[in-house]
Amino acid sequence: MPKKTVSGQGVGREIINAIKGAKRRIFIISPYISSDYAKLLLEKAKNGVNVKVITSKGRRTFSTAILSIYSGKISDRDLTMFEAHRGRRLRLMTTLITVYFFLLVLMLVSMNNLIPGISQPLFYGSLVAIAAISSTITYFIDLRYAVALVLGALILALTLVVILKGPSIYAYVIATFQILYPIGIVMAYIKWSSARTYKGIIEEFGAPKKLIEIRFASSGEKFIHSKIYIIDDVGFSGSVNLTFKSINKNVETITRYEGEDIEELERQFSEIWSMLDDPPIDVIRDIYAIF
């Protein structure tokens, strides 16, 4: 029988303390992992502890990315490709942003009729070109940015129409979208132009190599929601994810196993491990999306 079951805020700290003191093995099933705890697992693996992790892949979290780099499935060549891809995208984004703001200036000029005779065709021509450029940039921007920008533009436009009861919603949508959209562009560009976090991980843990074994619990419909921790000769199961909020703030429940009781937990871990595929890591799709 399990030795002890406890509930409360901060009960997961016992798991973290056990991980910090691990000498031989750390086997984990946790759908979500905070980056600090992912780095803790890499530190233990770097010091010779056998680390196996089952976690989520679909959410493309930073922790999943750094664990994947040290799963033995990523090479220096992959990271060279990563950098080349990032460089190409940055150059493309720089060009698109430059063209976008040039067209925006043309639109403002035409709206104020500063060039008589061609203001109307200039306005519609620049509008069509901006739409094309915006669509291309949105393809590269996180979907959340695009949705937020569109909703923000519509809400602001509707608010203005209600307050002013004047020009058509069409004009306000265009105007507010042109104001809001560059914010999304800049956000995406800043994200892609900074490799500080990625390079910091490489500096801390060295070139890509196999430090841990990792499998993903979100392939198709086979999402694993279990939480199991086997650390040397002690085990835990319950509701705790390996995240800062779950460990320190949430009210969670864990059951602690020792002695013969841990054998059943080991069997469950092995059963779940064996039911999951061990696919290769796609450096562009699984790593690039994070950094």
The domain spans of the chain are: 4-74+208-288, 80-193
Q: Are 100 and 182 within 8 A, CB to CB?
A: yes
Pick the range with the lowest mean pLDDT from 30-34, 43-47, 214-218, 257-261.
214-218
pLDDT of residue 214: 92
If you write DSSP's letter for every residue of 81-108 in order, what string do you get? Answer: HHHHHHHHHHHHHHHHHHHHHHHHHHHH
Residue 146 pLDDT more than 60?
no
Q: Give me 222's structure tokens.
A: 């086979």
Amino acid type, 76? D
- Residue 233 per-residue DSSP state: T
Q: What's the rounded Cα separation, in Å, for the pair 210 and 64? A: 15
DSSP, res 33: B
Are 32 and 242 a contacting pair, CB within 8 Å?
yes
Distance CA 97, CA 191 (A): 15
Residue 207 has pLDDT above 90, yes or no: no
pLDDT tier for residue 49 given thresholds of 50, 70 and 90: very high
Contact 40, 15 (CB under 8 A): no
First to last CA, the chain: 45
Distance CA 7, CA 237 (A): 12
How high is the mean pLDDT of the chain? Answer: 78
CB atoms within 10 A of CB 29: 24
> Tell me, what's the pLDDT at 154?
57
Q: What is the pLDDT, as a whole number, of residue 255?
A: 94
Model pTM score: 0.69
pLDDT tens by residue, 79-97: 788 778 777 877 877 887 7
Residue pair 34/243 in contact by the 8 Å Cβ criterion: yes
Gap between the Cα atoms of 230 and 201, Å rounded: 26
Confidence band, pLDDT 50/70/90 cuts, at residue 155: low
| DSSP β-ladder status, 213-216 and 50-55 | parallel
Count of other CB atoms within 10 angstroms of residue 125: 15
Share of the chain above pLDDT 70, in %: 64
CATH number of 4-74+208-288: 3.30.870.10
pLDDT at 269 over 80: yes
Give the per-residue pLDDT at 99.
Answer: 79
pLDDT in tens, 23-47: 999 999 998 898 899 999 999 999 9
Radius of gyration of the chain (CA): 25
Using DSSP's 3-state secondary structure scheme, residue 29 falls into strand
pLDDT the model gives residue 134: 67
Any bridge partners for residue 222, and if so which?
219
> Looking at residue 169, what is its pLDDT?
55
At residue 289, the pLDDT reads 54
Q: pLDDT band for 216, please (50, 70, 90 cuts).
A: confident
Residue written as tokens 């999943």? 64
Is the confidence at residue 222, as pLDDT, over 80?
no
Determine which helix (DSSP H) or strand (DSSP E) holds 231, and give its type and residue range.
Answer: strand 228-231
Q: Which residue has the tokens 């093995």?
A: 25
